[in-house]
Amino acid sequence: MKPVYLLPCAGAALLPLVFVTISGAKGDTEPKVSSPIYGVTIPEGYRRWELIAPALEAVPLNELRAVVGNKTAIDAYRSGTLPFPEGTVLVKLAWKQIQSTEFEPATVPGDATTVQVMVKDSKKYADTGGWGFGRFIDGKPVDEAQHQTCFACHEARVKGHDFVFTRFAP
């Protein structure tokens, strides 16, 4: 049980301090703080969502990753539906890649690093391919400058897959 104090931002000076008690598995009860530009939050319960695929990102990040999706996302992947339907939510979990101490050929997840979210809402996010983006560290969104890079990269590289990198691992 870890108490977390959320400081209201300067523009909401009348808000009281919010006291949130986090219990249980990390990630399922993150405070609902939204990303700049997009207003995307970490979806509740995502850690229990179905796996789409793992991945590895090389140094300097050096991360093991897993992308999971809500039911809309999984159904779309399984049926090969493109573009992804409204309400699709994808979450990428990432951990430092560390050497297994028990099995030499293996690397395994270390500390969690970022949680990254994509939400499909064609009206709300009409200017960014229908997708809203959120990148979070310890449950808190990273700054606006980082969020300004999301769509340009997805657009340049995977426009033909509805701006989504991850494919379903069979």
The contact set with its own copies (CB under 8 A) reads 24-27, 47-51, 53-58, 61, 64-66, 68, 74, 78, 93, 95, 97, 100, 102-103, 105-109, 111-112, 157-158, 165-167, 169-170
Least gap, CB of 49 to its own copies (angstroms): 8
Closest to its own copies by CB, 15 vs 25, is 25
Closest to its own copies by CB, 18 vs 167, is 167
Closest to its own copies by CB, 15 vs 51, is 51
Q: Which residue is it, tokens 């539906």?
A: 81
The three-state secondary structure class of 36 is coil
Residue pair 115/94 in contact by the 8 Å Cβ criterion: yes
Closest to its own copies by CB, 32 vs 167, is 167
> Quick count: other Cβ atoms within 10 Å of Cβ 161?
14
Least gap, CB of 46 to its own copies (angstroms): 11
For residues 96 and 57, what is the distance between their CA atoms, to the nearest angstrom?
10
Residue pair 1/21 in contact by the 8 Å Cβ criterion: yes
First-to-last alpha carbon distance for the chain, in angstroms, is 38
